Amino acid sequence: MASSYLLLDENMHFLDKGEGEMKKSRSILDLVIISIKSFSSLHMFDKLVVSGVSMMDVRGLRWEILWAAFILLVMFRAACMIYRAHIHPLRSIPGPWISSATSLWIRWQRWHGRLSFEADKLMAKYGPIVRISPNLVILNDPEAVEKVFVRKDLDTSPKSIRALRVGGHDWTVTYPQHPIARSRRHPVMIATTTKNLKLRHQVFVDNIEAMVRDIAESGGERSEDIVHHLRICTLKNSQVIMGGSTVDVDATNFPHVVGEYNFLVVWRLCLPGWLFEWLQYGPFSHARFRVRSSDKLFDLGDELCQQAAKNEATFEEDPSIYKLFTDPGAKYPTQAWTDPEIGAEMAGQVLAATETTSSALAFIYYELAKNQSLQHDLYKELCAHEGYEELDSLKLLDACIKEGLRFRPPVALTGSRMVPPGGLNVLGYYLPAGTVITTQSLSMSRQRPDLFPDFDSYNPRRWLEDESNAEKRRLLVPFGIGARRCPGGNMATYQMRLILAATFRAFRITLAPETTPEKMAPFEANGYRSRHDRCDLIFAPRVG
């Protein structure tokens, strides 16, 4: 700095000299300017170096903070897992350590569609009560299950059932509170009594025979996906029960929509909610359609309501669930409906009515197609009985349906109950308030090898034996137990008799080449279905 000022002073001194000295003074001035610029550059470089070091320090500090936060998070999660497994009030409930410590185990099993079968393995190992998640126990003792599930003061688990919302709205199944659900269940139970179903008997038969004609177009030369046909047929049948005789919604896309919705339920149970907001606008068309299937299902329910509202007939003249829902004088009057609420309710009821029937039937068709001897015996029984009346008197047909509902029940985890304040004592274990109790019909028979020695096989003839038949029937609970059991179970079995009778009278059914055991392995997606959600069969028309 001092040398720079010295050069400047000398330069000013030269300005007072003659012209001969001007060139010299200018050259010196240029030197001064260069020196000043050099000094400035060095000063700025020093600042940049210091700044760079500071930035490196800040970045290093940020990484240290992130690492510290990560380590604290890991330690916190580890502490939570240790607490749940070794300190939590449910620590004494039998079960593997991993399922007691974290919900990742149950999410993993749900994602792979095998929760019920894995839970069944755990019950075979640990007993009739097992902890399958930090706050969830599965119960398989018939007496204990009935004692808990028959109570009307217990709510269902809100977190899991909300996965079944339609178009962002709740319906009967997704309401945890029993009083709300009861007021909505009662109209369904009235509309699906055997008496009221018989009023629609001919409509059912006409729709089923239309399905048979559609299948017959293949002439037995190409395979047909029976799941696709069943979904359309059961929609046609259920829409009459839901909205009355004048309702006729477009069923073209329904099989695809409801199929994707079933797998959407799995996503909702396993993935964070924010992910769906991205997926429905993301670049993947299949994922977009799956996320939007809930809205498409809601649109179908809304269309059904609009058509039903135009029907001016009374319930006595044209009975329907819609009439009962909107009847102010009903025994269990429901809330004042908004259009979205009743649209979601009807969509949910259609979903329940179609999927319980079609999923159970698909596995029955598959098993009978594999067993030609059993199919032949069923065909002979059906041919000996004329028409579609009194089909419930056919023992082998009834046995095929019972065994299908036992072997591959339409619902996986058949309901849940939330332990109330004060807790419950179940099978000698104390369950604190907030604990969720669930059960599953699958294990009711699988955990009784004395009654079902070949429980992993489809064997309808077991139901033709008189010995222990009453005890076997007591363990058959495909539509749930207690106050929140499926109100449409009677309609499901009523349709199943008609559909099986019509198709096996008309066709000899065999497996298509593409239908393999691997493809038909059960996958849990809002109930049991095949891994690829289809069942391709050959329907060869019977002659004579």
CA distance 77 to 323: 52
What was the pLDDT predicted at 330? 67
Every domain of the chain and the residues it spans: 2-73, 105-541
pLDDT at 19 over 50: no
Between 297 and 337, residue with greater pLDDT: 297
Q: Give the residue from 265, 317, 324, 271 showing the smallest Cα distance to 293.
A: 265
Report whether CATH 1.10.630.10 matches the domain 105-541. Answer: yes
pLDDT exceeds cutoff 60 at 322: yes
The mean pLDDT value for 197-211 works out to 97
What tens digit of pLDDT does each residue of 20-49 get? 433 444 444 344 344 444 444 444 444 444
- The distance of Cα 335 from the centroid of its chain, to the nearest Å, equals 27
Confidence at residue 315, expressed as pLDDT on a 0 to 100 scale: 84
Residue 455 has pLDDT above 90, yes or no: yes
**Per-residue pLDDT for 8 more than 50?**
no
- The token pair at 198 is 């018989």
DSSP 21-63: GHHHHHHHHHHHHHHHHHHHHHHHHHHHHHHHHHHHHHHHHHH
Residues with Cβ within 8 Å of 490's Cβ and at least 6 positions away in sequence, in order, are 192, 193, 194, 197
Concatenated DSSP letters for 391-447?
Answer: GGG-HHHHHHHHHHHHHS-S-SEEEEEEPPTT-EEETTEEE-TT-EEEEEHHHHHHT
Position 3 scores a pLDDT of 40
Residue 26: predicted pLDDT: 42
Name every residue whose Cβ is closer than 8 Å to that of residue 357 and which is 6 or more positions away in sequence.
Answer: 230, 234, 410, 491, 492, 495, 496, 499
Rounded Cα distance, 392 and 50, in Å: 91
In this predicted structure, what is the pLDDT of residue 481? 87
The answer to whether the beta carbons of residues 305 and 339 sit under 8 Å apart is yes
pLDDT at 183: 85
Give Dmax over CA atoms of the chain in angstroms. 138
Residue from 422, 411, 419 nearest 147 by CA = 419
In this prediction, residue 312 carries a pLDDT of 87
Q: How far apart are CA 476 and CA 412, in angstroms?
A: 13
400 labeled binding residue: no
Round the average pLDDT of the chain to a whole number and report it: 88
Helix crossing, 22-86 with 2-14: angle to 10°? Answer: 160
Give per-residue pLDDT as tens, 51-105: 554 655 666 778 888 889 999 999 999 999 999 999 999 999 999 999 999 999 9
The whole-angstrom distance between residue 110's C-alpha and the CA centroid of its chain comes to 9
Give pLDDT, residue 335. 66
How far apart, in whole angstroms, are the C-alpha atoms of residue 16 and residue 30? 17
Separation CA 457–CA 403 (nearest Å) = 9
Interval 394-421: pLDDT, tens? 999 999 999 999 999 988 877 899 999 9
**What number is the average pLDDT over the span 447-476?**
91
d(CA 469, CA 63): 68
Residues 531 and 113 sit within 8 Å (Cβ to Cβ): yes
Residue given tokens 């398989």 in the structure block: 140
Residue 277: pLDDT over 70: yes
Q: What percent of the chain has pLDDT over 90?
A: 72
Kindly report, residue by residue over 94-138, the tens digit of the pLDDT: 999 999 999 999 999 999 999 999 999 999 999 999 999 999 999
- Asked if residue 222 has pLDDT above 80, the reply is yes
